[in-house]
């Protein structure tokens, strides 16, 4: 079911692909106002950044070359510079050595050149997909960019966005975050971002019943700091920043069922070290391991995995004889109850907030976008604090878990300011 944002729609129930009824609150027909007057600045910045990043690769290569050509790039990286991955990958058609993301990402662990190529590709995508394209999508009648929300596309139950995808506006780089600055409220209004804090890890704590996780969230402790302590101990010799970085990667990697090989690449350590981190994590949070084992055992017996609210996903390949196919199904099984429950919580919150908004800010506040764990609102400037407080309370009380739900709220004239 795709709900296009061309007009506001009443709340309704729909039937997803697995036959379980789901409900969704409406999102206002005006999801975003794009400030086209800022387009030129962002285009200039992108051109400068792309040129600078491209020029950085040429001295390393010792020659000018077409960075757009996978064949030429492969010749420079593998033949001239002699770089190698653990497993040589070749393209199917030409049999040339692959320069796909996974290959360059692995090479970037030991050399600057592949990292610069990846940055250049990211900048080119930023320019083509967002800086150049989004202004062309502004509706001339409303002055806004309109999207479609899809109820039954993501297998975990998350709402997705398409035509265009407004849930994929980049946030990892400063230039990417600047694109969000171009999405602004109407004059006299502000945008309000309300984002569930670490909701998937909180759902994991609730579903697993792990005492250490529940205790950390109940006491308001930083879960990544607690994970760092469990995994690396008090005398690791690593900086606080590096400890937290690694712990955050580990928390979410295990949430998505990643194994030592992938975790090693994500953190930048050996496979043996990564496996030791995984073992230490499960020793520190033993009920998480037991919870995942129960999920896998139940799925192998029934071919089904469920969210906390009973929404089902079929996992027909959980007993497949092909190891790669079976491993993918096992990752789906361990992740779906967590990400799916988080999606259910957000949808319940959307319904509650939608029902309450007419009584907030004189009925002038609108829900205009959902991005995974975040809801974005537009409200009159003078009613911003009232709206933010009401939204936070409703989202935090949408469901009751064994750990508190917390919502980070920000207010700004544009999306970047509101998101912080």
Q: Do 53 and 108 lie in a common domain?
A: yes
Strand partners, 376: 193, 369
What pLDDT shows up at residue 382? 97
Q: DSSP letters of 76-88?
A: IIIIIS----SS-
What pLDDT shows up at residue 84? 72
Q: Do 328 and 208 lie in a common domain?
A: yes
Specify if 144 maps to a domain.
Answer: no
Judged against a pLDDT cut of 70, whether residue 268 lies above it is answered with: yes
Report the mean per-residue pLDDT for the chain. 84
Range of weakest confidence among 5-9, 105-109, 164-168, 222-226: 5-9
Judged against a pLDDT cut of 50, whether residue 23 lies above it is answered with: no
Q: What is the CATH number of the domain that holds 372?
A: 3.30.70.370
Q: Are 149 and 19 in contact (CB under 8 A)?
A: no
Judged against a pLDDT cut of 50, whether residue 223 lies above it is answered with: yes
d(CA 213, CA 285) in angstroms, rounded, equals 7
Specify if 138 maps to a domain.
Answer: no
Judged against a pLDDT cut of 70, whether residue 56 lies above it is answered with: no
What pLDDT shows up at residue 1? 40
What pLDDT shows up at residue 224? 95
The dihedral over CA atoms of 376, 18, 206, 227, expressed in degrees to the nearest 10, equals: -80
Judged against a pLDDT cut of 50, whether residue 280 lies above it is answered with: yes
Based on the number of CB atoms within 10 Å of its own CB, is 241 exposed (0-12), middle (13-18) or buried (19 or more)? Answer: exposed
* Residue at which a domain ends, from 289, 310, 337: 337
Specify if 141 maps to a domain.
Answer: no
Specify if 136 maps to a domain.
Answer: no
- CA atoms within a 13 Å half-sphere pointing along the CA-CB vector of 26: 15
Q: Do 394 and 308 lie in a common domain?
A: no
Omega before 387 within 30 of 0, i.e. cis: no
Specify if 375 maps to a domain.
Answer: yes
Q: Do 212 and 264 lie in a common domain?
A: yes
d(CA 20, CA 2) in angstroms, rounded, equals 16
% of the chain residues with pLDDT over 90: 54
Q: What is the CATH number of the domain that holds 306?
A: 1.10.150.20
Task: Spell out the residues 6+ positions from residue 311 whose beta carbon is closer than 8 angstroms to its own.
Answer: 16, 18, 20, 22, 157, 340, 344
Specify if 259 maps to a domain.
Answer: yes
Q: Are 404 and 383 in contact (CB under 8 A)?
A: no
User: H-helix or E-strand containing 25?
Assistant: none
What pLDDT shows up at residue 27? 57
Specify if 137 maps to a domain.
Answer: no
Query: Rg of the chain's alpha carbons, rounded to an integer?
Result: 23
Q: Do 327 and 374 lie in a common domain?
A: no
Confidence band for 102, pLDDT divided at 50, 70 and 90: confident
Judged against a pLDDT cut of 70, whether residue 85 lies above it is answered with: no
Main-chain phi, psi angles of 12, to 5 degrees: -155, 165
* Residue at which a domain ends, from 337, 368, 386: 337
What pLDDT shows up at residue 2? 44
Q: Could you list the residue range(s) of the whole structural domain that residue 125 is in? A: 38-131
Q: Do 195 and 207 lie in a common domain?
A: no
Range of weakest confidence among 68-72, 236-240, 328-332, 388-392: 68-72
Number of neighbours of residue 420 by Cβ within 10 angstroms? 12
What pLDDT shows up at residue 3? 46
Q: DSSP letters of 293-341?
A: HHHHHHHHHHSEEE-TT--EEE-TTTT-SSHHHHHHHHHHHHHHHHHHH
pLDDT in tens, 154-191: 889 999 999 989 998 878 777 778 888 888 999 999 99
What pLDDT shows up at residue 250? 96
Q: Do 114 and 82 lie in a common domain?
A: yes
Q: Do 96 and 13 lie in a common domain?
A: no
Q: Do 260 and 193 lie in a common domain?
A: no
Omega before 164 within 30 of 0, i.e. cis: yes
pLDDT in tens, 312-326: 999 999 999 999 999
- CA atoms within a 13 Å half-sphere pointing along the CA-CB vector of 371: 21
Judged against a pLDDT cut of 90, whether residue 389 lies above it is answered with: yes
What pLDDT shows up at residue 42? 58
DSSP-based three-state secondary structure for 362: helix
* Residue at which a domain ends, from 337, 356, 388: 337
Q: Do 9 and 120 lie in a common domain?
A: no
Q: Do 26 and 156 lie in a common domain?
A: yes
Q: Which tokens sit at 260?
A: 């030592």
Range of weakest confidence among 32-46, 69-83, 219-233: 32-46
Q: What is the CATH number of the domain that holds 74?
A: 1.20.1060.10
Judged against a pLDDT cut of 70, whether residue 215 lies above it is answered with: yes
Greater model confidence, 90 or 315: 315
pTM check: above 0.85 = no
Look up tokens 């990564």; give the residue.
274
d(CA 114, CA 108) in angstroms, rounded, equals 5
% of the chain residues with pLDDT over 70: 82
Q: How many domains does the chain have?
A: 3
Task: Spell out the residues 6+ positions from residue 63 whose beta carbon is closer than 8 angstroms to its own.
Answer: 76
Specify if 284 maps to a domain.
Answer: yes
Q: Are 159 and 369 in contact (CB under 8 A)?
A: no
State the average pLDDT over residues 358-384.
95
Range of weakest confidence among 72-86, 203-217, 231-245, 375-389: 72-86
Q: In the sheet where 144-145 sits, what is the strand order?
A: 144-145, 32-34, 183-184
Q: Do 115 and 162 lie in a common domain?
A: no
- From first CA to last CA, the distance across the chain in angstroms is 32
Number of neighbours of residue 221 by Cβ within 10 angstroms? 12
Range of weakest confidence among 13-17, 112-116, 179-183, 371-375: 13-17
Range of weakest confidence among 27-41, 96-110, 308-322: 27-41
Range of weakest confidence among 125-139, 286-300, 403-417: 125-139
Judged against a pLDDT cut of 90, whether residue 284 lies above it is answered with: yes
């Amino acid at each position: 079911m795709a709900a296009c944002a061309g007009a506001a729609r009443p709340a309704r129930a729909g039937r997803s692909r697995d036959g379980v009824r789901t409900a969704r609150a409406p999102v206002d027909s005006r999801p975003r106002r794009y400030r086209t007057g800022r387009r030129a600045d962002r285009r200039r910045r992108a051109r400068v950044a792309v040129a600078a990043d491209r020029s950085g690769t040429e001295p390393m290569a010792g020659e000018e070359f077409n960075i757009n050509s996978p064949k030429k790039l492969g010749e420079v990286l593998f033949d001239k510079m002699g770089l190698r991955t653990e497993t040589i990958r070749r393209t199917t058609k030409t049999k040339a050595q692959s320069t796909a993301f996974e290959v360059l990402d692995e090479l970037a662990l030991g050399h600057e050149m592949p990292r610069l190529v990846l940055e250049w590709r990211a900048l080119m995508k930023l320019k083509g997909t967002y800086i150049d394209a989004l202004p062309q999508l502004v509706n001339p009648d409303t002055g806004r960019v309109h999207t479609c929300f899809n109820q039954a596309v993501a297998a975990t139950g998350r709402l997705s966005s398409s035509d265009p995808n407004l849930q994929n506006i980049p946030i990892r780089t400063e230039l990417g975050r600047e694109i969000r600055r171009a999405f602004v409220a109407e004059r006299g209004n502000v945008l309000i971002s309300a984002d569930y804090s670490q909701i998937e890890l909180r759902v994991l704590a609730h579903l697993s019943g792990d005492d250490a996780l529940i205790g950390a969230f109940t006491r308001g402790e930083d879960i990544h700091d607690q994970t760092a302590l469990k995994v690396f101990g008090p005398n690791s010799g690593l900086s606080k920043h590096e400890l937290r970085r690694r712990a955050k990667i580990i928390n979410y990697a295990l949430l998505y069922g990643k194994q030592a090989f992938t975790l090693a690449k994500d953190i930048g350590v050996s496979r043996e070290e990564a496996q030791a981190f995984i073992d230490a994590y499960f020793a520190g949070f033993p009920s998480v391991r037991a919870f995942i084992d129960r999920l896998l055992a139940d799925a192998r017996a029934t071919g089904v995995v469920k969210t906390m609210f009973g929404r089902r996903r079929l996992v027909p390949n959980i007993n497949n004889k092909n190891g790669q196919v079976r491993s993918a199904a096992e990752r789906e099984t361990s992740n779906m109850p967590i990400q799916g429950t988080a999606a259910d919580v957000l949808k319940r919150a959307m319904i509650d907030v939608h029902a309450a908004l007419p009584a907030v800010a004189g009925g002038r506040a609108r829900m205009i976008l959902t991005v995974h764990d975040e809801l974005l609102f537009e409200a009159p400037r003078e009613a911003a604090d009232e709206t933010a407080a009401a939204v936070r309370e409703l989202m935090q009380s949408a469901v009751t878990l064994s750990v508190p739900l917390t919502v980070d709220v920000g207010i700004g004239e544009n999306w970047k300011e509101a998101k912080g």
